[in-house]
Amino acid sequence: MLNHSKLIIYPFLTFFYSYVLFNDAPENWQLGFQDPATPIMEGIINLHHDLMYFICVIFIFVSWMLSRTLWHFEKTQNIIPSTLTHGTLIEIIWTVTPACILLIIAIPSFSLLYAMDEIISPAITIKTLGHQWYWSYEYSDYLNEDGESVMYDSYMIPEEDLDLGQLRLLEVDNRMVVPINTHIRIIVSAADVLHSWAIPSLGIKCDAIPGRLNQTSMFIKREGVYYGQCSEICGINHGFMPIVVEAVKLPNYITWISNKLSE
Told to check if 222 binds ligand CUA by CB under 6 A, we report: no
Of 44, 126, 230, 257, the one binding ligand CUA (CB under 6 A) is 230
Told to check if 243 binds ligand CUA by CB under 6 A, we report: no
Contacts with ligand CUA: how many residues (CB under 6 A)? 9
Told to check if 195 binds ligand CUA by CB under 6 A, we report: yes
Of 204, 206, 241, 244, the one binding ligand CUA (CB under 6 A) is 241
Query: In the window 96-135, what residues touch ligand CUA (CB under 6 A)?
Result: 130, 133
CA 105 to chain centre: 20
Residue type, 28: N
In the complex, least distance from residue 122 CB atom to ligand CUA, rounded to whole angstroms: 25
Answer for the pair 172, 154: CB distance below 8 angstroms, yes or no.
Answer: yes
In the complex, least distance from residue 175 CB atom to ligand CUA, rounded to whole angstroms: 17
Told to check if 156 binds ligand CUA by CB under 6 A, we report: no
Told to check if 192 binds ligand CUA by CB under 6 A, we report: no
Nearer to ligand CUA, 231 or 253 (CB): 231
Nearer to ligand CUA, 243 or 248 (CB): 243
Please state whether 86 falls in left (phi above 0), alpha (psi between -120 and 50) or beta.
Answer: beta
Told to check if 172 binds ligand CUA by CB under 6 A, we report: no
Q: What b-and-e string marks burial along 111-132, b requiring 16 or more CB atoms within 10 Å of the CB? A: ebeeeeeeeeebebbbbbbbbe
In the complex, least distance from residue 242 CB atom to ligand CUA, rounded to whole angstroms: 10
Nearer to ligand CUA, 133 or 227 (CB): 133
In the complex, least distance from residue 57 CB atom to ligand CUA, rounded to whole angstroms: 38
- Applying CB under 6 A, which residues contact ligand CUA? 130, 133, 195, 230, 232-234, 238, 241
